[in-house]
Structure 1
């Protein structure tokens, strides 16, 4: 930890919160003294004192004269297993002491939160509160402009700032898109496995989902796609921009071009999920938008995968529907921090995000290699792991017929949370698969966790008829 950091006290505060939350004892827990903590974390005593003061104000710790700081520990009761697998996984993943092998957040390895907040503070001094503009319903023009420039590639493939819209998060931008295009109750063609967040939003809009499985080689069965487009009245298709997420594979450019030609012929909207577009390991990767009809193209993404949780906003690029999109934004009246959006724009404009993303890609590839090696060492007889072409996760399939939901339930008492494959399908596909993250807490014994996973799979296999 850098003791000269303006945010050192926040890091100390987070450290103490995690220390308290992971406590395994009943009753009172004695916390490190100011000096002990300062030496442990290489910060000043005044920094640790301020972090403790914040926790005292929140009522989480208390001090005793000449004895130090204490907290009352009340172990949280784990939630009961629920029918909704997604809600259940997230409830357990947030339990103190649980090791979540199911996350998909690249920024966990390296975030831009501190530079973002520092830029925001600098801008706050430049824009006194009385001079800060009112909330912009479609997003700050400075941020919309840099995004339009970022996605412009040629005189044929270009975007204007008024075609970019900023929302509160991914759910918000998908919701306003589906409403603006009047797609509620329609039919969607979706790659499978698919992001649970997208599946949940399509379900909320009463959209019938037709899943197209991604094969082991990263390709669709093109004949099946063609037949579905001919047989079904498909209104939209939702695909990952480059690397198929969470499958982790890379589809050939020729396949994407053929699919885009069919979508154009059937007048189908293409929704391109660019949330992981920056995280492909292969420099030569095509995107659907390279071949799509620009008048039937939607690109959507978020900032948090690159930057961290301090930038939860989602955004969408779409042409020709300014009136409908503006009406939906006005109806929702997003109240997004203008200064935070300006700070994001400055990070893009200064190329800081590009430098950060390049470094983060290197870290992701390194951790992916490490996790793959651990899986081969400890679970090579149980799992067939797909080499990931990018992103933050690996897709693995059981070599034997094993229900991964039952493996998930076996691992919970051991303090490990995985993501069974069925949560990435509405139609019950991928039950013998799971998604594993390599953006985990590497300070823990991940090798032991993988070994425990392999043992749970083997135990379940022995009980499977």
Structure 2
């Protein structure tokens, strides 16, 4: 099995589908041990990290449970306990992800650095032959040093390897962070719309999510922001470092000083989401982290977003609470492949990641610009939208009162996938919004898909 099948399916998606076929037929309430990472990787001819990523998705969805020293176990769905409406919508969306006209996960359609990564790994193996268990013992240090250097902007805004913490994925990163800083049960203020995966991770980590909707231009309602900080005793505020996804906007730089002042006044941490910063078409000159108190700053991201699904490792940058963070991350005992960490560090050092991201941004901008122009022609009277500042999709509001769940199902029956906006909120907001992306099939596919969407919307007018 290769990373991408003939149908365009990525390797982790194929592993996910294979595991789902094992889980779905299980009797309600029953338990079953699933194949180990190594056995499944050998059976399906994929990397262990690909299998691990598929398992992490299933674990996040609550379908699989990891038991230390025992492996992964699946539990049959309980009869008479239906999934919530949002969960059903998510399941339908994930199962329909292979639709060719318009796809929900635009950025995942981009190529990864897998070939370069594996090439460097082969070079390292030839350069440093295996010597028992001590293979590339400095891989983690090299990667942490590379990430620290990447975030260093000046002598006043510098990071070192001791400020960087690594985890196997975002779920594990947040669980460890919340435990280390004793944040379980605390309120986290999140600018929405926000990735449903991130919202789910925050809730699973034991945080109470409070939402603050973004303005059409990506700005924050500072008066409402201040009120929430006062009334809710917020300890964390999660804002994007640059690009707000899926909104496709930027927080205006003019608001940065006011945001920083409010955070300092209320003693709240800035939890800066750096997952999509590299997808801005034109890189902003400043980030919010440049003006906030560095002692109350946490920055997180995932290597999957820059290198590809073969490297799902997540990382955190923090200068404060170093002893508590180090103790908790060491206690978790994350075992990341040293060879892969060293290879990723070399990708950064050789400039391959920057070249790759530049190519990706160019392709994204070309694709989204074409989608935007076609939407103006086919949907300008029915949807309100604007050209995004980055990313691979367009956030749109339906002008007419539309049931987007019904719209989603009606279009799905015709082979067209859209993403209802309510998925990007835990509080049911954005019920009249959609996220649209283009999977870049045949040129006529896009026009056909937009025509189908236009016809479906006309029924509500």
Query: Is the TM-score greater than 0.5?
Result: yes
Residue 408 (structure 1) shift? 0.9
Q: Conserved in 2, the CA contact under 8 Å of 1:163 and 1:322?
A: yes
Alignment of 1:14 with 2:5, yes or no, is yes
TM-score, length of structure 1 as denominator length: 0.78
Residues 270, 96 of structure 1: alpha-carbon distance in 2 compared, 3 angstrom cutoff: closer
Residue 432 (structure 1) shift? 0.1
**Residues 272-322 of structure 1: CA distance to partner in whole angstroms, max 9, x if unpaired?**
000111111223343111111100000000122222211111111011322
Residue 353 (structure 1) shift? 0.8
Identify the residue that residue 129 of structure 2 maps to in structure 1. 128
Partners of 1:406 and 1:341 lie apart in 2 by 45
Q: Secondary structure at the match of 2:278?
A: coil
Structure 1 runs, 4 residues or longer, greater than 4 Å off: 16-19
Residues 104, 412 of structure 1: alpha-carbon distance in 2 compared, 3 angstrom cutoff: closer
Q: Conserved in 1, the CA contact under 8 Å of 2:139 and 2:339?
A: no
Residue 387 (structure 1) shift? 1.6
Identify the residue that residue 166 of structure 1 maps to in structure 2. 166
| Number of equivalences | 395
Q: Conserved in 2, the CA contact under 8 Å of 1:188 and 1:238?
A: yes
Residue 139 (structure 1) shift? 7.4
Residues 123, 291 of structure 1: alpha-carbon distance in 2 compared, 3 angstrom cutoff: same
TM-score, length of structure 2 as denominator length: 0.79
Q: Conserved in 1, the CA contact under 8 Å of 2:190 and 2:210?
A: yes
Q: Secondary structure at the match of 2:277?
A: coil
Q: Conserved in 2, the CA contact under 8 Å of 1:102 and 1:435?
A: no
Partners of 1:217 and 1:321 lie apart in 2 by 35
Residue 58 (structure 1) shift? 6.6
Identify the residue that residue 441 of structure 2 maps to in structure 1. 442
Larger Rg computed on CA atoms = 1
**Residues 131-187 of structure 1: CA distance to partner in whole angstroms, max 9, x if unpaired?**
563798x97000000100110111221111011011111222122112211111011
Q: Secondary structure at the match of 2:84?
A: coil
Residues 85, 139 of structure 1: alpha-carbon distance in 2 compared, 3 angstrom cutoff: farther
Q: Conserved in 1, the CA contact under 8 Å of 2:196 and 2:424?
A: yes
User: What does 1:91-240 align with in structure 2 at a 5 Å threshold?
Assistant: 91-95=92-96, 98-99=99-100, 101-106=102-107, 108-130=109-131, 133=134, 140-240=140-240
Q: Conserved in 1, the CA contact under 8 Å of 2:188 and 2:235?
A: yes
Partners of 2:134 and 2:108 lie apart in 1 by 30
Partners of 1:257 and 1:100 lie apart in 2 by 43
**Which consecutive unaligned segments of at least 5 residues does structure 2 have?**
15-42, 46-76
User: What does 1:20-35 align with in structure 2 at a 5 Å threshold?
Assistant: none
Q: Conserved in 2, the CA contact under 8 Å of 1:264 and 1:293?
A: yes
Partners of 1:457 and 1:319 lie apart in 2 by 50
Identify the residue that residue 289 of structure 1 maps to in structure 2. 289
Q: Conserved in 2, the CA contact under 8 Å of 1:238 and 1:272?
A: yes
| Greater Cα shift, 363-372 or 227-236 | 227-236
Identify the residue that residue 83 of structure 1 maps to in structure 2. 84
**Which consecutive unaligned segments of at least 5 residues does structure 1 have?**
1-8, 23-56, 60-78
Residues 128, 90 of structure 1: alpha-carbon distance in 2 compared, 3 angstrom cutoff: farther
Q: Conserved in 1, the CA contact under 8 Å of 2:97 and 2:104?
A: no
What is the RMSD of the two structures over their aligned residues, measured on CA atoms? 2.8
Q: Conserved in 2, the CA contact under 8 Å of 1:101 and 1:419?
A: no
**Residues 325-352 of structure 1: CA distance to partner in whole angstroms, max 9, x if unpaired?**
2232233222211111111100000111
Q: Conserved in 2, the CA contact under 8 Å of 1:195 and 1:424?
A: yes
